[in-house]
C-alpha cells in the first residue's frame, strides 16, 4: 500500500479561489504584527502576505523591534482594535523571550471581532458550541478540517487520536472532531504506551513539533495520518511523522512542507473575510 498524498497546497488553492469574490465584495484588510526577527516567523509571514496578494486582500506587515516593551505592544493592539479600516489582525508567535510570559495577556487584548487567529477565549468558547464555523476558529485546526473535507475523508464514527494538547492545535482540534461525530483520544508527553493508542487511530493527528516521532510501528494499516507538527534542522522543515516509512502503511498522509501549512494560511484568510462580513452585518 502506498498512501494517497493529501496536498494542502491543492486544497488551499481551492479554498482561496472560493474566497476571491468575497474579498472583492467586502474589501477586508489583514494586519500582521511581528515583534523581533524570529526566522521561522519571517517565513510564515511571507506565506501569509503572499496568499493575501493572491486573493487581492489588502494587508499590512507591522514589523516591530525585538526590544519592544509590553506597554508599547499593548498600545499597538489598542490602535488596531479601534481602527475601523482594520478588519482583523494577528500577533505572530512566538514573541521575544522577555514577552513570552505575556502571551495570554496579549491574546486577551485582541478584540474578539478582529481575532482572526481564533486564539481568544470568546472564539474558543463559541467553537465548543458550534459545528459550523460561525465564529472565528483557530486557523490550523480549522484548516485540518477543511483539508479532510476537500479529500472527502469521513470523520463521523471514526476513532481520532491526537498527539499534542496545545491550546492552539490539539485541544481545539479535539472539539472540532467531537462536534463532527468522531471518538477522540488526546495523547501528550505524560501518556503511557503512546504506540498502543496511536495504533487504534482511524485518523491520526501529530501536533508536537518533534521530528519523526511517529514511526511506522505506531500506525494502523489504512489509517489517515495528518502531520501538523513542524520543526527545523540543518536540512530544513521536518514533520512529526516519519513520512517515507509511514506512507507505506497509511491510506492517506499529509507531507511537510505542503500539507497543513497552506491550509492554516488559507483559513486565516477565510477568517478575515468572515470577520468583515460580521462587522458589516452589525453596522
Q: How far is CA 121 from CA 70, 80, 156, 166, 180, in A?
A: 20, 19, 27, 14, 21
Which CATH architecture best describes the domain 138-261?
A: 3-Layer(aba) Sandwich (3.40)
117 is catalytic: yes
| Per-residue pLDDT at 133 | 64
Instruction: Spot the catalytic one: 34, 114, 115, 117.
Output: 117
- Given a contact cutoff of 8 angstroms between Cβ atoms, the answer to whether 4 and 252 are in contact is yes
pLDDT by residue, tens only, the chain of 283 residues: 789 999 999 999 999 999 999 999 999 999 999 999 998 898 899 999 999 999 999 999 999 999 999 999 999 999 999 999 999 999 999 999 999 999 999 999 999 999 999 999 999 998 888 777 678 999 999 999 999 999 999 999 999 999 999 999 999 999 999 999 999 999 998 999 999 999 999 999 999 999 999 999 999 999 999 999 988 877 788 999 999 999 999 999 999 999 999 999 999 999 999 999 999 987 6
Write down the H helix ranges in 27-163. 39-55, 70-82, 103-109, 121-128, 139-150
| Per-residue pLDDT at 236 | 80
- Given a contact cutoff of 8 angstroms between Cβ atoms, the answer to whether 271 and 18 are in contact is no
Taking the C-alpha atoms of residue 107 and residue 230, their distance in angstroms, rounded to an integer, is 22
DSSP 3-state assignment of 152? coil
- Given a contact cutoff of 8 angstroms between Cβ atoms, the answer to whether 217 and 249 are in contact is no
Cα-based angle 26, 137, 170 (whole degrees, multiple of 5): 155
Cα-based angle 121, 127, 133 (whole degrees, multiple of 5): 125
Three-state SS letters, 4-47? EECCHHHHHHHHHHHHHHHHHHHCCEEEEEEECCCHHHHHHHHH
27 is catalytic: no
199 is catalytic: no
Taking the C-alpha atoms of residue 162 and residue 184, their distance in angstroms, rounded to an integer, is 8
Cα-based angle 113, 117, 119 (whole degrees, multiple of 5): 85
C-beta atoms surrounding 5 within 10 Å: 15
- Given a contact cutoff of 8 angstroms between Cβ atoms, the answer to whether 174 and 197 are in contact is no
- Given a contact cutoff of 8 angstroms between Cβ atoms, the answer to whether 258 and 8 are in contact is yes
Taking the C-alpha atoms of residue 124 and residue 118, their distance in angstroms, rounded to an integer, is 7
- Supply the pTM of this predicted model: 0.95
Instruction: Spot the catalytic one: 92, 115, 238, 240.
Output: 92
| Per-residue pLDDT at 72 | 99
Instruction: Spot the catalytic one: 48, 114, 158, 274.
Output: 48
| Per-residue pLDDT at 252 | 99
Peptide bond into 80 cis (omega under 30): no
| Per-residue pLDDT at 190 | 92
The CATH number of the structural domain formed by 28-111 is 3.40.50.10860
Give the residue range(s) of CATH 3.40.50.720 domains in the chain: 138-261
Cell numbers found for residue 194: 503512546
Amino acid at each position: 500500500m502506498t498512501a494517497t498524498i493529501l496536498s494542502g497546497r491543492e486544497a488551499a488553492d481551492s479554498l482561496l479561489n472560493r474566497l476571491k469574490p468575497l474579498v472583492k465584495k467586502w474589501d477586508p484588510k489583514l494586519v500582521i504584527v511581528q515583534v523581533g526577527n524570529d526566522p521561522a516567523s519571517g517565513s510564515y509571514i511571507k506565506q501569509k502576505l503572499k496568499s493575501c496578494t493572491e486573493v487581492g486582500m489588502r494587508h499590512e506587515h507591522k514589523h516591530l523591534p525585538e526590544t519592544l516593551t509590553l506597554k508599547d505592544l499593548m498600545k499597538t493592539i489598542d490602535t488596531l482594535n479601534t481602527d475601523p479600516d482594520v478588519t482583523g489582525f494577528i500577533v505572530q508567535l512566538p514573541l521575544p523571550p522577555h514577552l513570552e510570559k505575556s502571551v495570554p495577556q496579549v491574546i486577551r487584548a485582541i478584540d474578539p471581532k478582529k481575532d482572526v487567529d481564533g486564539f481568544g477565549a470568546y472564539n474558543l468558547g463559541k467553537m465548543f458550541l458550534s459545528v459550523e464555523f460561525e465564529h472565528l476558529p483557530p486557523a490550523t485546526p480549522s484548516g485540518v478540517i477543511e483539508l479532510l473535507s476537500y479529500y472527502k475523508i469521513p470523520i463521523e464514527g471514526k476513532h481520532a487520536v491526537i498527539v499534542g494538547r496545545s491550546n492552539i492545535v490539539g485541544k481545539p482540534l479535539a472539539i472540532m472532531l467531537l462536534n463532527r461525530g468522531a471518538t477522540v483520544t488526546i495523547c501528550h508527553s505524560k501518556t503511557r504506551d503512546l504506540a498502543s493508542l496511536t495504533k487504534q487511530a482511524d485518523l491520526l493527528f501529530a501536533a508536537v513539533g518533534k521530528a519523526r516521532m511517529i514511526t511506522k510501528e505506531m500506525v494502523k494499516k489504512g489509517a489517515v495520518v495528518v502531520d501538523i507538527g513542524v520543526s527545523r534542522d540543518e536540512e530544513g522543515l521536518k514533520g512529526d511523522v516519519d513520512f517515507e516509512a509511514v506512507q507505506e502503511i497509511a491510506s492517506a498522509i499529509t507531507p511537510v512542507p505542503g500539507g497543513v501549512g497552506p491550509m492554516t494560511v488559507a483559513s486565516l484568510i477565510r477568517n478575515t473575510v468572515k470577520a468583515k462580513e460580521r462587522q458589516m452585518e452589525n453596522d
